Chain A
């Protein structure tokens, strides 16, 4: 009975589950691609305008895609009692939850990173800012999953928690949105982005160390 084994068993289980319910991976990704492809149609043939707002479009879409995927994080575990068993495990619940969030990010966050270069080209972003876009997504999307986990843990026991979830979580997403899209915009104009990236790293580290505890506490409340 080792904690590492339990941590990886949870990740493995959630990845197998995601593979068997493929729509869970496909939905947020599909949403992300769809929203971004609709923008040029709405804005019209104005390449300069698109180029300017591209970082914002990509990041807002990533944020909404992450929101959309959040409910699947604990829903099925809550419905079939797996969550109760998880909470009864002698292992620290926060570590097991970190495993769940990591698996969730692999399934819903990482695919955004993989299609982002294509969409950036599509919006006419300069090649120089592509690396920074990917870096901000790499640093930012795990934060979305970690912070989102607190919100879902609080609302998973409610019948219609969707609205409350977005009210709870979106304000907490704002710093990530501001610093990440700003970094990409600066990089596009050839300016240094060190401070923004440092802040994103700080936010990620903070979420990584602090978010699992309130999530665990909220889950305990939700099953009671």
Chain B
């Protein structure tokens, strides 16, 4: 599996200015296989802005982001990454299965099929339930199922633990550790204390 190839996400001297306020400046980091980068900081400190820069939605005001030495505008980057933000990208009128089928058509298939992915996020049997009938936590898990069934080495997650209960959080942490064990990497923001004993977690505190 190509996830095992050496991958590196680098930020070089990144700056972000919003409404004349400097959110961060000269920020540099490097994330490699089997690593997690956790962005910490208060509300409005620029965590989400940084994630959106990493996704390519927003240009940094200075500096650049590179994926394996290439700029992130490269198609290869979009093949290797997956993003889940505040907005989960779930169509509420579609069923769980229809939602995942569309997601699969838009990305590269991974090792897990849709049913396995649903089972792993404990949504097995929910195939034909419209997404609007799911609870907030179940929706969150549905969006995470998308990560499992598509092929992507880099996960970018914005507050993945919101709306999840204790078991849900433990489940996602388990999936994150498995992803890192297989050679993947994760960049995330979280207010929740991460419990990933087997993974090398780097922290950046934005203030």
Contacts and interface: CB of A to CB of B under 8 A. Distances in A.
Contacts of B101: 9
A86 B57 CA distance: 12
Nearest to A4: B105
Contacts of A76: 91
Contact of B58 (A80, A81, A85, A224): A224
Interface residues of A, number: 28
Nearest to A20: B93
A89 B87 contact: no
Interface stretch (B32-40, B75-83, B172-180, B185-193): B75-83
Interface stretch (B5-13, B22-30, B106-114, B163-171): B106-114
A157 to B, nearest CB: 12
B57 A84 contact: yes
Contact of B107 (A1, A84, A220): A1
A88 B108 contact: no
Contacts of B63: none
B120 interface: no
A84 B102 contact: no
A9 B106 CA distance: 8
B57 A81 contact: no
B74 to A, nearest CB: 10
Contacts of B66: none
A86 B103 CA distance: 9
A37 to B, nearest CB: 31
Given A13-B102, A85-B83, 15 more contacts: A5-B105, A8-B105, A10-B106, A13-B94, A13-B98, A16-B94, A81-B85, A81-B89, A82-B91, A85-B89, A88-B83, A89-B107, A90-B78, A90-B108, A224-B52
Interface of A: 1, 5-6, 8-10, 13, 16-17, 20-21, 76, 79-82, 84-91, 96, 220, 223-224
3 tightest Cβ-Cβ pairs between the two chains A and B: A81-B87, A9-B105, A81-B89
